[in-house]
Amino acid sequence: MLDKINALRQEIDALKASSAAEVEELRIKYLSKKGEVSLLFNDFRNVAAEQKRVIGQALNELKNQATEKINALRDSLSSTDSIDSDLDLTRTESPIALGSRHPLSLVREEIIDIFRRLGFTVAEGPEVEDDWHVFSSLNFAADHPARDMQDTFFIQRNPDVLLRTHTSSVQSRVMEHTQPPIRIICPGRVYRNEAISARAHCFFHQVEALYVDENVSFADLRQTLLYFAQEMFGPDTKIRLRPSYFPFTEPSAEMDISCDLCGGKGCSFCKHTGWVEILGCGMVDPNVLESCGIDSKKYKGFALGMGIERITNLKYRVKDLRMFSENDVRFLEEFQSAH
Protein backbone atom coordinates (compact mmCIF):
# COMPACT_ATOMS: atom_id res chain seq x y z
CA MET A 1 0.00 0.00 0.00
CA LEU A 2 2.82 2.37 0.84
CA ASP A 3 4.36 1.66 -2.55
CA LYS A 4 1.09 2.50 -4.24
CA ILE A 5 0.86 5.75 -2.29
CA ASN A 6 4.40 6.75 -3.20
CA ALA A 7 3.86 5.94 -6.87
CA LEU A 8 0.71 8.10 -6.88
CA ARG A 9 2.57 10.95 -5.16
CA GLN A 10 5.17 10.95 -7.91
CA GLU A 11 2.51 10.76 -10.56
CA ILE A 12 0.60 13.68 -9.06
CA ASP A 13 3.74 15.73 -8.66
CA ALA A 14 4.35 15.50 -12.40
CA LEU A 15 0.79 16.44 -13.44
CA LYS A 16 0.31 19.15 -16.05
CA ALA A 17 -2.80 20.75 -17.53
CA SER A 18 -3.32 23.31 -20.26
CA SER A 19 -6.97 24.08 -19.81
CA ALA A 20 -9.60 24.29 -17.11
CA ALA A 21 -11.27 21.19 -18.56
CA GLU A 22 -8.09 19.20 -18.15
CA VAL A 23 -7.76 20.30 -14.53
CA GLU A 24 -11.29 19.16 -13.90
CA GLU A 25 -10.54 15.78 -15.47
CA LEU A 26 -7.55 15.39 -13.15
CA ARG A 27 -9.63 16.33 -10.14
CA ILE A 28 -12.17 13.68 -11.02
CA LYS A 29 -9.44 11.11 -11.71
CA TYR A 30 -7.79 11.56 -8.31
CA LEU A 31 -10.12 13.29 -5.88
CA SER A 32 -13.71 12.48 -6.76
CA LYS A 33 -15.59 9.83 -4.79
CA LYS A 34 -14.37 7.12 -7.13
CA GLY A 35 -11.01 8.79 -7.75
CA GLU A 36 -7.74 7.00 -7.12
CA VAL A 37 -7.01 8.75 -3.84
CA SER A 38 -10.50 8.11 -2.52
CA LEU A 39 -10.25 4.44 -3.50
CA LEU A 40 -7.08 4.12 -1.42
CA PHE A 41 -8.96 5.58 1.52
CA ASN A 42 -11.56 2.82 1.01
CA ASP A 43 -8.76 0.22 1.14
CA PHE A 44 -7.59 1.72 4.43
CA ARG A 45 -10.17 -0.46 6.18
CA ASN A 46 -8.14 -3.56 5.28
CA VAL A 47 -4.81 -2.27 6.56
CA ALA A 48 -3.38 -4.16 9.49
CA ALA A 49 -3.83 -2.36 12.78
CA GLU A 50 -0.12 -1.87 13.45
CA GLN A 51 0.34 -0.20 10.03
CA LYS A 52 -2.66 2.10 10.33
CA ARG A 53 -0.74 5.02 11.84
CA VAL A 54 1.99 5.14 9.15
CA ILE A 55 -0.31 4.48 6.24
CA GLY A 56 -3.00 6.83 7.54
CA GLN A 57 -0.46 9.63 7.69
CA ALA A 58 0.85 8.84 4.19
CA LEU A 59 -2.71 8.79 2.84
CA ASN A 60 -3.49 12.18 4.35
CA GLU A 61 -0.31 13.61 2.90
CA LEU A 62 -1.25 12.20 -0.50
CA LYS A 63 -4.69 13.76 -0.36
CA ASN A 64 -3.30 17.15 0.67
CA GLN A 65 -0.70 17.00 -2.06
CA ALA A 66 -3.29 16.11 -4.69
CA THR A 67 -5.64 18.91 -3.58
CA GLU A 68 -2.84 21.47 -3.57
CA LYS A 69 -1.55 20.36 -6.93
CA ILE A 70 -4.97 20.58 -8.56
CA ASN A 71 -5.60 23.99 -7.03
CA ALA A 72 -2.18 25.19 -8.18
CA LEU A 73 -2.87 24.00 -11.72
CA ARG A 74 -6.23 25.81 -11.70
CA ASP A 75 -4.67 29.03 -10.35
CA SER A 76 -1.92 29.07 -12.92
CA LEU A 77 -4.49 28.74 -15.68
CA SER A 78 -6.86 31.38 -14.39
CA SER A 79 -4.07 33.93 -14.00
CA THR A 80 -3.02 33.47 -17.63
CA ASP A 81 -6.69 33.60 -18.62
CA SER A 82 -7.14 36.96 -16.93
CA ILE A 83 -3.99 38.39 -18.50
CA ASP A 84 -5.39 37.45 -21.88
CA SER A 85 -8.73 39.10 -21.34
CA ASP A 86 -7.59 42.21 -19.42
CA LEU A 87 -4.55 43.04 -21.47
CA ASP A 88 -5.28 46.14 -23.54
CA LEU A 89 -2.51 46.47 -26.06
CA THR A 90 -3.89 49.79 -27.30
CA ARG A 91 -3.40 51.51 -23.95
CA THR A 92 -0.89 54.34 -23.70
CA GLU A 93 2.21 53.39 -21.80
CA SER A 94 1.98 54.75 -18.29
CA PRO A 95 2.51 57.24 -16.84
CA ILE A 96 0.09 58.84 -19.27
CA ALA A 97 1.33 62.23 -20.42
CA LEU A 98 -1.35 64.77 -19.52
CA GLY A 99 -2.24 67.35 -22.13
CA SER A 100 -2.23 71.06 -21.42
CA ARG A 101 -4.88 73.67 -21.84
CA HIS A 102 -4.66 75.97 -24.82
CA PRO A 103 -3.36 79.43 -23.85
CA LEU A 104 -6.45 81.10 -25.33
CA SER A 105 -8.68 78.89 -23.17
CA LEU A 106 -6.66 79.74 -20.09
CA VAL A 107 -6.96 83.46 -20.72
CA ARG A 108 -10.64 83.26 -21.68
CA GLU A 109 -11.39 81.47 -18.40
CA GLU A 110 -9.41 84.04 -16.48
CA ILE A 111 -11.31 86.94 -18.08
CA ILE A 112 -14.65 85.24 -17.40
CA ASP A 113 -13.64 84.58 -13.80
CA ILE A 114 -12.84 88.24 -13.17
CA PHE A 115 -16.17 89.40 -14.57
CA ARG A 116 -18.01 86.64 -12.75
CA ARG A 117 -16.77 88.12 -9.49
CA LEU A 118 -18.57 91.33 -10.51
CA GLY A 119 -21.83 89.48 -11.09
CA PHE A 120 -21.60 88.94 -14.87
CA THR A 121 -22.86 85.67 -16.35
CA VAL A 122 -21.76 84.03 -19.58
CA ALA A 123 -23.97 84.38 -22.67
CA GLU A 124 -23.28 82.83 -26.05
CA GLY A 125 -24.55 83.34 -29.56
CA PRO A 126 -24.12 81.76 -33.00
CA GLU A 127 -21.04 82.25 -35.16
CA VAL A 128 -23.14 82.17 -38.34
CA GLU A 129 -25.22 85.30 -38.00
CA ASP A 130 -27.53 87.63 -39.85
CA ASP A 131 -26.99 91.27 -40.73
CA TRP A 132 -29.43 92.48 -38.08
CA HIS A 133 -27.59 91.10 -35.07
CA VAL A 134 -24.08 91.91 -36.27
CA PHE A 135 -24.70 95.34 -37.80
CA SER A 136 -28.16 96.88 -38.10
CA SER A 137 -29.33 96.43 -34.52
CA LEU A 138 -25.98 97.83 -33.38
CA ASN A 139 -26.58 101.13 -35.16
CA PHE A 140 -24.52 100.46 -38.28
CA ALA A 141 -26.57 102.34 -40.95
CA ALA A 142 -26.97 100.47 -44.25
CA ASP A 143 -24.55 102.76 -46.05
CA HIS A 144 -22.48 103.64 -43.01
CA PRO A 145 -18.74 103.45 -43.69
CA ALA A 146 -18.30 101.74 -40.31
CA ARG A 147 -19.39 98.52 -41.96
CA ASP A 148 -16.08 98.65 -43.78
CA MET A 149 -14.24 98.63 -40.44
CA GLN A 150 -14.83 94.91 -40.35
CA ASP A 151 -14.09 92.81 -43.42
CA THR A 152 -17.05 90.50 -43.37
CA PHE A 153 -17.20 86.96 -44.72
CA PHE A 154 -20.61 86.62 -46.36
CA ILE A 155 -22.16 83.19 -46.72
CA GLN A 156 -25.20 84.49 -48.57
CA ARG A 157 -26.47 87.87 -49.77
CA ASN A 158 -30.09 89.09 -49.53
CA PRO A 159 -31.01 88.12 -46.96
CA ASP A 160 -27.51 88.34 -45.61
CA VAL A 161 -26.03 85.38 -43.80
CA LEU A 162 -22.52 86.00 -42.55
CA LEU A 163 -19.84 84.97 -40.09
CA ARG A 164 -19.98 87.31 -37.14
CA THR A 165 -17.19 89.85 -37.13
CA HIS A 166 -17.50 90.62 -33.44
CA THR A 167 -19.14 89.21 -30.32
CA SER A 168 -21.13 92.44 -29.97
CA SER A 169 -23.82 90.51 -31.86
CA VAL A 170 -24.53 88.62 -28.64
CA GLN A 171 -25.50 91.94 -27.02
CA SER A 172 -28.46 92.38 -29.33
CA ARG A 173 -29.38 88.70 -29.13
CA VAL A 174 -29.64 88.92 -25.34
CA MET A 175 -31.27 92.36 -25.21
CA GLU A 176 -34.06 91.44 -27.61
CA HIS A 177 -35.19 88.71 -25.19
CA THR A 178 -34.26 90.13 -21.79
CA GLN A 179 -35.21 93.26 -19.93
CA PRO A 180 -32.64 94.94 -17.62
CA PRO A 181 -30.87 94.46 -15.36
CA ILE A 182 -28.54 92.70 -17.80
CA ARG A 183 -24.98 91.83 -16.88
CA ILE A 184 -23.43 89.45 -19.38
CA ILE A 185 -20.03 88.38 -20.62
CA CYS A 186 -19.88 86.83 -24.09
CA PRO A 187 -16.79 84.92 -25.17
CA GLY A 188 -16.54 83.53 -28.68
CA ARG A 189 -14.85 83.17 -32.03
CA VAL A 190 -15.17 85.85 -34.70
CA TYR A 191 -14.17 86.04 -38.36
CA ARG A 192 -12.78 88.73 -40.63
CA ASN A 193 -11.54 88.59 -44.17
CA GLU A 194 -7.92 89.46 -43.46
CA ALA A 195 -4.73 88.19 -45.05
CA ILE A 196 -3.12 85.85 -42.52
CA SER A 197 0.12 87.15 -41.06
CA ALA A 198 1.92 87.32 -37.73
CA ARG A 199 -0.33 90.21 -36.73
CA ALA A 200 -3.69 89.33 -38.27
CA HIS A 201 -5.77 86.21 -38.76
CA CYS A 202 -9.06 85.48 -40.47
CA PHE A 203 -10.48 84.18 -37.22
CA PHE A 204 -9.78 85.16 -33.66
CA HIS A 205 -11.55 85.39 -30.31
CA GLN A 206 -13.27 88.14 -28.40
CA VAL A 207 -14.96 88.70 -25.10
CA GLU A 208 -17.78 91.19 -24.92
CA ALA A 209 -19.27 92.55 -21.72
CA LEU A 210 -22.58 94.36 -21.38
CA TYR A 211 -24.20 95.98 -18.38
CA VAL A 212 -27.63 97.59 -18.70
CA ASP A 213 -29.63 98.92 -15.78
CA GLU A 214 -31.04 102.15 -14.35
CA ASN A 215 -28.37 104.73 -13.53
CA VAL A 216 -25.40 103.03 -15.15
CA SER A 217 -22.75 105.67 -15.71
CA PHE A 218 -19.39 106.12 -17.39
CA ALA A 219 -17.86 106.05 -13.90
CA ASP A 220 -19.17 102.49 -13.48
CA LEU A 221 -17.52 101.57 -16.77
CA ARG A 222 -14.23 103.12 -15.76
CA GLN A 223 -14.19 101.38 -12.39
CA THR A 224 -15.03 98.04 -13.98
CA LEU A 225 -12.19 98.51 -16.45
CA LEU A 226 -9.72 99.40 -13.69
CA TYR A 227 -10.77 96.36 -11.67
CA PHE A 228 -10.41 94.11 -14.69
CA ALA A 229 -6.98 95.50 -15.65
CA GLN A 230 -5.57 95.15 -12.15
CA GLU A 231 -6.94 91.65 -11.65
CA MET A 232 -5.61 90.56 -15.03
CA PHE A 233 -2.26 92.33 -15.14
CA GLY A 234 -1.44 93.02 -11.50
CA PRO A 235 -2.37 95.64 -8.88
CA ASP A 236 0.10 98.27 -10.14
CA THR A 237 -1.49 98.41 -13.58
CA LYS A 238 -2.73 101.83 -14.64
CA ILE A 239 -5.41 102.47 -17.24
CA ARG A 240 -5.96 105.28 -19.70
CA LEU A 241 -9.09 105.99 -21.78
CA ARG A 242 -8.82 107.61 -25.19
CA PRO A 243 -11.86 108.93 -27.09
CA SER A 244 -12.77 106.72 -30.04
CA TYR A 245 -15.65 105.79 -32.29
CA PHE A 246 -17.90 102.73 -32.47
CA PRO A 247 -21.41 102.88 -33.98
CA PHE A 248 -22.97 101.10 -30.99
CA THR A 249 -21.55 103.25 -28.20
CA GLU A 250 -21.71 106.97 -27.46
CA PRO A 251 -19.38 108.16 -26.07
CA SER A 252 -16.83 105.54 -27.12
CA ALA A 253 -13.33 104.98 -25.86
CA GLU A 254 -10.33 102.75 -26.22
CA MET A 255 -8.51 101.61 -23.14
CA ASP A 256 -4.74 101.37 -22.77
CA ILE A 257 -2.91 99.81 -19.87
CA SER A 258 0.53 100.82 -18.65
CA CYS A 259 3.18 98.71 -20.35
CA ASP A 260 4.35 96.20 -17.78
CA LEU A 261 7.47 95.35 -19.78
CA CYS A 262 9.07 98.75 -19.21
CA GLY A 263 6.89 99.88 -16.31
CA GLY A 264 5.55 102.75 -18.43
CA LYS A 265 8.95 104.23 -19.27
CA GLY A 266 8.68 103.32 -22.95
CA CYS A 267 10.14 100.38 -24.87
CA SER A 268 9.87 98.79 -28.29
CA PHE A 269 6.90 96.66 -27.14
CA CYS A 270 4.79 99.75 -26.35
CA LYS A 271 6.30 101.69 -29.24
CA HIS A 272 7.94 103.98 -26.66
CA THR A 273 4.64 105.36 -25.44
CA GLY A 274 4.51 103.51 -22.10
CA TRP A 275 0.96 102.34 -22.97
CA VAL A 276 -0.55 99.39 -24.82
CA GLU A 277 -4.08 99.30 -26.20
CA ILE A 278 -6.26 96.45 -25.01
CA LEU A 279 -9.95 97.07 -25.62
CA GLY A 280 -12.82 99.17 -26.95
CA CYS A 281 -15.71 100.36 -24.81
CA GLY A 282 -18.38 102.97 -24.29
CA MET A 283 -21.90 103.78 -23.17
CA VAL A 284 -24.46 101.79 -25.14
CA ASP A 285 -25.98 104.08 -27.79
CA PRO A 286 -29.68 104.72 -27.02
CA ASN A 287 -30.49 103.65 -30.59
CA VAL A 288 -29.14 100.19 -29.82
CA LEU A 289 -31.26 99.88 -26.67
CA GLU A 290 -34.35 101.00 -28.57
CA SER A 291 -33.79 98.69 -31.53
CA CYS A 292 -33.63 95.78 -29.09
CA GLY A 293 -36.82 96.83 -27.29
CA ILE A 294 -35.31 98.44 -24.21
CA ASP A 295 -36.54 101.83 -22.99
CA SER A 296 -33.54 104.15 -23.40
CA LYS A 297 -35.07 106.83 -21.19
CA LYS A 298 -35.23 104.47 -18.26
CA TYR A 299 -32.11 102.42 -18.84
CA LYS A 300 -28.47 103.10 -19.61
CA GLY A 301 -25.67 100.68 -20.25
CA PHE A 302 -22.02 100.24 -20.89
CA ALA A 303 -20.30 97.75 -23.16
CA LEU A 304 -16.76 96.68 -23.80
CA GLY A 305 -15.07 94.26 -26.11
CA MET A 306 -11.58 92.84 -26.24
CA GLY A 307 -9.56 90.35 -28.25
CA ILE A 308 -8.48 87.29 -26.32
CA GLU A 309 -5.38 86.87 -28.51
CA ARG A 310 -4.37 90.42 -27.66
CA ILE A 311 -4.66 89.84 -23.91
CA THR A 312 -2.82 86.51 -24.27
CA ASN A 313 -0.02 88.23 -26.17
CA LEU A 314 0.37 90.71 -23.38
CA LYS A 315 0.42 88.02 -20.72
CA TYR A 316 2.57 85.45 -22.50
CA ARG A 317 4.35 87.48 -25.20
CA VAL A 318 3.29 85.30 -28.09
CA LYS A 319 4.71 87.21 -31.04
CA ASP A 320 3.03 85.43 -33.93
CA LEU A 321 -0.77 85.08 -33.99
CA ARG A 322 -0.50 81.99 -36.19
CA MET A 323 0.96 80.04 -33.26
CA PHE A 324 -2.49 79.96 -31.67
CA SER A 325 -4.02 77.86 -34.43
CA GLU A 326 -1.10 75.81 -35.74
CA ASN A 327 -1.31 73.28 -32.90
CA ASP A 328 2.45 72.89 -32.69
CA VAL A 329 2.84 70.66 -29.64
CA ARG A 330 6.14 72.32 -28.71
CA PHE A 331 4.30 75.63 -28.35
CA LEU A 332 1.26 74.18 -26.57
CA GLU A 333 3.42 72.29 -24.07
CA GLU A 334 4.88 75.55 -22.84
CA PHE A 335 1.60 76.17 -21.08
CA GLN A 336 1.63 72.90 -19.18
CA SER A 337 2.70 74.45 -15.91
CA ALA A 338 -0.08 77.00 -16.08
CA HIS A 339 -2.67 74.35 -15.14
Residues making contact with ligand DAH (CB under 6 A): 166, 168, 208, 246, 249, 280-282, 303-305
Contact 335, 101 (CB under 8 A): yes
As to burial, measured by CB atoms within 10 angstroms (0-12 exposed, 13-18 middle, 19+ buried), residue 34 is exposed
> Which CB atom, from 181 or from 263, has the smaller least distance to ligand DAH?
181
> Which CB atom, from 59 or from 284, has the smaller least distance to ligand DAH?
284
Q: 4 Cβ partners below 8 Å, 6+ apart?
A: 40
Q: How far is the CB of 176 from ligand DAH (least distance, A)?
A: 16
> Which CB atom, from 180 or from 280, has the smaller least distance to ligand DAH?
280
CA distance 134 to 165: 7
Chain residue whose CB lies nearest ligand DAH: 305
Handedness of CA 257, 262, 267, 269 (dihedral sign): negative
Contact 309, 224 (CB under 8 A): no
CA distance 281 to 305: 6
Q: How far is the CB of 330 from ligand DAH (least distance, A)?
A: 31
> Which CB atom, from 103 or from 247, has the smaller least distance to ligand DAH?
247
Helices 52-86, 20-31: crossing angle, 10 deg rounding = 170
Q: Is 294 helix (H, G, I), strand (E, B) or coil?
A: coil
Q: Element (H or E) spanning 96, and its range? A: none
> Which CB atom, from 17 or from 229, has the smaller least distance to ligand DAH?
229
Q: Is 101 helix (H, G, I), strand (E, B) or coil?
A: coil
Q: How far is the CB of 328 from ligand DAH (least distance, A)?
A: 27
* Radius of gyration (C-alpha) of the chain in whole angstroms: 39
Q: How far is the CB of 250 from ligand DAH (least distance, A)?
A: 10
**Largest Cα–Cα separation, the chain:** 123
Q: How far is the CB of 182 from ligand DAH (least distance, A)?
A: 13
Q: How far is the CB of 168 from ligand DAH (least distance, A)?
A: 4
CA distance 105 to 111: 10
> Which CB atom, from 252 or from 258, has the smaller least distance to ligand DAH?
252
> Which CB atom, from 208 or from 309, has the smaller least distance to ligand DAH?
208
Q: How far is the CB of 95 from ligand DAH (least distance, A)?
A: 44
Pairing of strands 121-122, 182-191: parallel
